[in-house]
Amino acid sequence: MKVAIMCSGGDSSGMNPAIKRFIEYSFELGFKPYLIYDGLEGMIDGNIKKADYSDAAGIIFRGGTIIGSSRSKRFYEYEYRKKAYENLKNKGIEALMVLGGNGSFKALDVFSKEFPVLYSGIPATIDNDIALNEYTLGTDTALNVIRHACDEIRDTSSSFRRGSIIETMGRECGYLALVSALSSGAEICLVPEIEFNLSSIKKRLIKEFKEGRRYLIAIVAEGVGITHYLKEWLEREIGIESRATVLGHVQRGGSPTVFDRLMAYEFVTIGLENLSKGISGVVVYNNGNFGLKDIDEINAAKYQIKPMLLKFGERLAN
- Helix 15-28 with 258-276: angle, nearest 10 deg: 40
Q: What is the pLDDT along the chain (318 residues), one digit of tens a residue?
A: 999 999 999 999 999 999 999 999 999 999 999 999 999 999 999 999 999 999 999 999 999 999 999 999 999 999 999 999 999 999 999 999 999 999 999 999 999 999 999 999 999 999 999 999 999 999 999 999 999 999 999 999 999 999 999 999 999 999 999 999 999 999 999 999 999 999 999 999 999 999 999 999 999 999 999 999 999 999 999 999 999 999 999 999 999 999 999 999 999 999 999 999 999 999 999 999 999 999 999 999 999 999 999 999 999 999
Task: Tell me the β-bridge partners of 121.
Answer: 98, 282
CATH number corresponding to 2-138+256-302? 3.40.50.450
* Ordered alpha helix ranges (H), the chain: 15-28, 39-45, 53-56, 78-90, 102-114, 139-160, 175-184, 198-210, 227-233, 258-276, 295-300, 307-314
Single out the catalytic residue among 11, 55, 127, 140: 127
> Cα(109)–Cα(116) distance, rounded to whole angstroms?
12
Q: Are 191 and 185 in contact (CB under 8 A)?
A: no
Fold: same for 2-138+256-302 and 141-252: yes
Domain spanning 141-252: which CATH class is it, in words?
alpha beta
What sign for the dihedral angle of Cα 208, 214, 220, 224? positive
Q: What is the residue type of 91? A: K
pTM: 0.95
The pLDDT of residue 99 is 98
Domain locations in the chain as residue ranges: 2-138+256-302, 141-252
Cβ partners under 8 Å of residue 312, min gap 6: 178, 182
The pLDDT of residue 138 is 97
Q: Is 301 helix (H, G, I), strand (E, B) or coil?
A: coil
Looking at residue 8, the DSSP 8-state letter turns out to be -
Q: Are 123 and 137 in contact (CB under 8 A)?
A: yes
For the question of residue 45 being annotated catalytic, the response is no
